[in-house]
Chain A
């Protein structure tokens, strides 16, 4: 166990006018740890995720990230350029809709290669080689490397988006409903893939989902949100097997059994 967290979140709140987006959220994320944020639509999951990933400025609170040099930096005290660089290299963000995270009109290979160029790779041959290696890892045939994501199915697009995000060896990946719009067989394949990659690469991840089965499979720890507040927080097994809060009990008892 390493003894320094990767991300320190303290007292993060976001208000939309007088309406609460999320309220007073604090936690620490450790290297190699996967945290699931669950709750129904409108509970503040995505607001929180956006506040953590610098996509949305929180109203109050701080988010500190341990940079590769070992020093903690407050994300909201960095310059815009530094934040963007972090986002393109050390972080990944997997959107629910792959079209939000991909360039739909450039080739699959270029989608992956673009992130490599952001970290300074210039050798075309090497970039292409790495890109095709990553397409194989996410189970996309290398003969599709020159095709545009427009010509891909939903599941393939999502896998391409994952490859694009992971190619730079990020230490932290944010995922917003990564299996949201996919049918179940494609979901299982994607989950297995994400699970394997997280284990192999030792990534930390924050996954927003409303699907408790996804959370059980992927996450170590879980936060349950309701009306912008974190109402329950703990080991994933514990939250799902012995939910304490009325809302969590409702959520767990509402899972359909197959």
Chain B
């Protein structure tokens, strides 16, 4: 089984220069990998560094030490060291991310927000919109909202737009940051089914799910992030 994502010996801390340069360690010595067709769930209490790990993998956070190896176009890219152009190419073709909150752009319709990752990969706008419509329908987003910019949508509606945007491409690795947090039971089930579909397609998934029911349904294994916490090391 292919392993498109390998994280090894990753360290991360924040230096707060505005607070006299105090150093906040976030995670120490993170080691794990995710195989194709597998869904790994990051577990542990809030503030332990789960989101930080996802953000490092996606290139939003810098890494102090270690490697994040991603199988991108048949070669290994180390996200921890890659230049911005490579990170963007990895995001466009290999690595997807569903964030907790949607960053809306003024005046762009929900349909176009969802279609954008496909258009960025060079797929015709009409075809991309068709696929976007399909996904929004699956996620039960009322059709009259599709042509509106999502800025005024409710939390759950925005999150469904966000999920559709993340799931529309056939990225080989997908990061999920609490995609079901503000969804009702029906839509949670839809997302669980969509994750199962991705697994069957051989996508490697890494996610954070606080909802126990969803976690039970999707997780192949749970990775306890507190083992990487520097705070635990001090206590022990």
Contacts and interface: CB of A to CB of B under 8 A. Distances in A.
Given A30-B85, A244-B15, A249-B18, A237 B106 contact: no
A81 interface: no
Contacts of A242: 14, 55, 60-62
Interface in A204-250: 217, 220-221, 234-238, 241-242, 244-246, 249-250
Nearest to B18: A249
A124 to B, nearest CB: 33
B107 A192 contact: yes
Contacts of A1: 85, 89
A253 B88 CA distance: 25
B106 A235 contact: no
A236 B88 CA distance: 10
Contact of A235 (B16, B17, B59, B120): B59
A166 to B, nearest CB: 19
A246 B84 contact: no
A189 interface: yes
A33 B85 CA distance: 8
A238 B107 contact: no
Given A246-B17, A246-B18, A195 B105 contact: yes
Given A188-B107, A244-B62, A235 B88 contact: yes
Interface in B131-156: none
B18 A253 contact: yes
A199 to B, nearest CB: 8
A247 to B, nearest CB: 8
Contacts of B108: 192
**Chain A interface SS verdict (over half):** helix
Contacts of B17: 245-246, 249-250
Given A220-B88, A244-B15, A250-B18, A238 B62 contact: yes
B90 to A, nearest CB: 11
B107 A217 contact: no
Contacts of B85: 1, 30, 33, 220-221
A31 B108 CA distance: 24
A38 to B, nearest CB: 15
A238 B61 contact: yes
B15 A191 contact: no
Nearest to B15: A244
Contacts of B60: 235, 237-238, 241-242
A239 to B, nearest CB: 9
A241 B57 CA distance: 13
A192 B105 contact: yes
Interface string B1-17: 00000000000001111
B76 to A, nearest CB: 16
B88 A192 contact: no
Contacts of A221: 84-85
A220 B89 CA distance: 11
Contacts of B119: 199
B87 interface: yes
Interface of A: 1, 30, 33, 188-189, 191-192, 195, 199, 217, 220-221, 234-238, 241-242, 244-246, 249-250, 253
Top 9 A-B pairs, shortest CB-CB distance:
A246-B17, A188-B106, A235-B84, A242-B61, A241-B60, A192-B107, A237-B60, A221-B84, A249-B17
30 contacts: A30-B85, A189-B106, A189-B107, A191-B106, A192-B105, A192-B106, A220-B84, A221-B85, A234-B62, A235-B60, A235-B84, A237-B59, A237-B60, A238-B59, A238-B60, A238-B61, A238-B62, A238-B84, A241-B55, A241-B60, A242-B14, A242-B60, A242-B61, A244-B15, A244-B62, A246-B17, A249-B16, A249-B18, A250-B18, A253-B18
